[in-house]
Amino acid sequence: MDDVSEVLDALGAGDPQAAGRLLPLVYDELRKLAAARMAAERPDHTLDATGLVHEAYLRLLGGQRFAGRAHFFAAAAEAMRRILVEAARRRATLKRGGAAARVHLDEVASPTADPDGQLLAVHEALDELAAADPEAATLVKLRFFAGLTAPEAADALGMSVRSAHDLWAYARSWLRRELGPG
């Protein structure tokens, strides 16, 4: 058992110092994960990778027990995804009315890509996939959001690499169909 697993066990057992010991052990990996997630976000996002790591880490300390290193990082990736989705929803709410002033159509510039809309579309499609096939949705979260390789994700799900590969192909095509072109 590695140091992270031991500290996670201590954290689950209620050790008050475990949270302080855990962060230095996982910070670099969480930072890489957050940087990868933030690379897909708009450049003027209010969060940076460091802020995303800190917010996700605080959410993870809510008394949840982790079955090991892979479970912890999968939960961290899910927390980061939810933080970004919540931020996109807040911006979309303001964008759709908020305190905006009325502008005539003649004054509006041509439309540009909407990364918040894309993130929300992926989130909703992933929720629909979870309702249809929870194991496929979990695999997508492990591979895409947690950055696990196929063998690591297969191990975390307790399945063969070949089964994970087949499920990954299914999940990708399912999401592609739901999200449409682009």
Q: Given this model, what pLDDT does residue 105 score?
A: 44
175/142 Cα distance (integer angstroms): 15
Domain that holds residue 23: 3-179
Tens of pLDDT, residues 95-110: 555 555 555 544 444 4
Q: Given this model, what pLDDT does residue 97 score?
A: 58
57/24 Cα distance (integer angstroms): 12
Q: Given this model, what pLDDT does residue 11 score?
A: 84
Shortest CA distance to 132 belongs to which of 75, 84, 177, 162?
177
- 60: pLDDT strictly greater than 60: yes
Tens of pLDDT, residues 109-167: 444 456 667 778 888 888 899 999 999 999 988 887 788 888 988 988 899 999 999 99
Q: Residues 99-115, buried b or exposed e (16+ Cβ, 10 A)?
A: eeeeeeeeeeeeeeeee
159 neighbors 151 (Cβ within 8 angstroms): no
What total of structural domains would you count in the chain?
Answer: 1
**The two structure tokens encoding residue 59:** 């959410």
